[in-house]
Amino acid sequence: MVGDLGAPVSAGVYNVYTGELGGTAVPTAAQLGLEPPRFCAECGRRMVVQVRPDGWRARCSRHGQVDSVDLEAQR
């Protein structure tokens, strides 16, 4: 089902929190689940992110949209 989530937050080359190439450290706020992904994992582009009281939605102009609700269903 990870394939259903699309490229913006699935395993990719870029860190979704910093936009740097993979292997970089994840910020503490992101580890705690307080920070939504800001960069596309596949292309490293900055995503449009909307933070809501119940989660977040992120959209890459090239690879589509993902919602935190979709990720919660994975757990």
Is the pLDDT reported for residue 72 higher than 90? no
The DSSP code for 39 is B
Averaged confidence pLDDT in the chain: 83
> In terms of DSSP H, where are the helices of 1-75?
2-5, 28-31, 68-74
C-alpha 46, offset from chain centre: 10
Q: Give the pLDDT of residue 25.
A: 82
Is the pLDDT reported for residue 63 higher than 60? yes
Q: Is 31 helix (H, G, I), strand (E, B) or coil?
A: helix
**What's the predicted TM-score (pTM) here?**
0.78
pLDDT digits (tens, 9 = 90+) for 2-28: 445 455 666 678 988 888 887 778 888
Give the number of other Cβ atoms within 10 Å of residue 17's Cβ: 18
